[in-house]
Amino acid sequence: MPNTCFSNETYEYFPHPVFHYKVENYVKHNEDLSNYIYDLQNKDTIGLKKSNINGWHSPDFDLKNKEGIAYKFLITLQPYIIDVFKSYGWVYNPQKVFYSGMWAIINKKGNFNTEHIHPNSNLSAAYYVKAPHNCGEFKVSNPHAISKDKFPERESPTELNRLIAKHKIEEGDLLIFPSYLPHSVLPNESEEDRIVVSFNLWIGR
């Protein structure tokens, strides 16, 4: 009879992390950001059409105005970004970190964001300004091509055969993740707006 007891050691190389932080003093930041974002919406009620389905997507924030809300908030996020660099083992040189856009999305009831990635960036982020109860989860998908349509039938769920992961969002949550990671946001089922601020960064050499 064959021996079915094997000595096994599994190496899980090349993880796809999502870093989660609760931003300090987020209540005050959210008040300022809400006013800034709704003011942008009043000036441009149509907005942009990207991954948002029926939601409002703002134009890029003005990050050149160092006295503006957007720039000041980006400065507030620097310690969290530096922490992600440390986790990756990357050298953080502010002269070589470039932000290729920061914007907001307002999703009313039933609105959502389809799965997408952020090309030409190293890291992307989502910060939740308004996240009422039952406003929809942040979802990431396994980026490996085999997982899309060739994944074998699963006997039981494990980290090795996971296809998706969902994160329940709350106000003040900051999620930072590799830009290649496919992600979406499920429909807002609450009666209130869900507001997220997102940005991309890339690292020069």
Q: Walk me through the domains of the chain, giving residue ranges and CATH numbers.
A: 19-144+163-203 (2.60.120.620)
193: left (phi over 0), alpha (psi -120 to 50) or beta: beta
More confident residue, 153 or 194: 194
Provide the pLDDT confidence category of residue 10 given band limits of 50, 70 and 90. Answer: confident
User: Would you say 69 and 32 are in contact if contact means Cβ atoms under 8 Å apart?
Assistant: yes
Q: Identify the weakest region by mean pLDDT among 103-117, 120-134, 142-156, 188-202.
A: 142-156
Element (H, E) at 103: strand 97-107
**Helix, strand, coil percentages for the chain (3-state, nearest 5):** 20, 30, 50
The pLDDT of residue 4 = 63
The pLDDT of residue 94 = 94
Q: What is the pLDDT of residues 29-81, one digit of tens each?
A: 999 999 999 999 999 999 999 999 999 999 999 999 999 999 999 999 999 99
The pLDDT of residue 8 = 84
**Lookup result for tokens 């942008």:** 40
The pLDDT of residue 181 = 97
* Burial bucket for residue 183 (CB in 10 Å: 0-12, 13-18, 19+): buried
Q: How far apart are CA 32 and CA 24, in angstroms?
A: 14
User: Would you say 19 and 85 are in contact if contact means Cβ atoms under 8 Å apart?
Assistant: no
Q: What is the pLDDT of residues 153-175, one digit of tens each?
A: 888 988 888 889 999 999 999 99
Q: How far apart are CA 104 and CA 38, in angstroms?
A: 10
